[in-house]
Amino acid sequence: MTHLLPTASQTVGPFFAIGLTWPDGPHVVEPDNPAAIVIHGAVFDGDGKPIPDAVVETWQADSEGRYPHPDDPRGGETNFRGFGRSGTSEMGGWAITTIKPGQVAGPNGSLQAPHIEVSVFARGLLQRVVTRIYFPDEEAANAADPVLASLPATAASETLIAHESDEGYRFDIHLQGEHETVFFAV
């Protein structure tokens, strides 16, 4: 009887620069939009080293909490795409030009705090990881948010809150390690 040996495991890619680019890229709104903000940061591996070939995708509601999607009959703001995609630089940096979202409906009639959904694709990952960006100047909404409330009040839950910066808001993503970002099973 022949004994079969398992093949070596490996990830697909990285082909992100080829397969995941799109014309609007990191512009959820045009940079000259009066309400435009920049959310930026870096993606780090478990050793704290920047990942130069990751992709960060964002999906969000507009400032009134409406999604630019057929499933949201209220429609969205003009010239608002809701979706952004940024590749990372050699130092793991990424940036999205967007607007601050409004609150959206949550479970049982609750409201979720303004947030941005984030997916990260990177080497070593067979599937994307998903997290959220919350805003530091939304303390009352963050305290009542059902997703944030479901997390233990630890340093880990703080990984979901962006920090104000000179450029807008900073949100670093740590895939593993001591400062690992909270990720959600979706």
Which amino acid would we find at residue 27?
Answer: H
Domain count, the chain: 1
Does the residue 84 lie in any domain? yes
Does the residue 183 lie in any domain? no
Give the per-residue pLDDT at 126: 79
Each residue's pLDDT tens digit, 122-135: 887 878 999 999 99
User: DSSP string spanning 42-105?
Assistant: EEE-TTS-B-TT-EEEEE---TTS--SSTT-TT---TT--SEEEEE--TTSEEEEEE-----EE
Look up the CATH number of the domain holding residue 74. 2.60.130.10
Does the residue 46 lie in any domain? yes
Does the residue 118 lie in any domain? yes
Each residue's pLDDT tens digit, 146-160: 999 888 877 778 899
pTM of the predicted protein model: 0.86
Does the residue 45 lie in any domain? yes
* Residue-number span of the structural domain to which 111 is assigned: 16-174
Does the residue 72 lie in any domain? yes
Q: Is 78 helix (H, G, I), strand (E, B) or coil?
A: coil
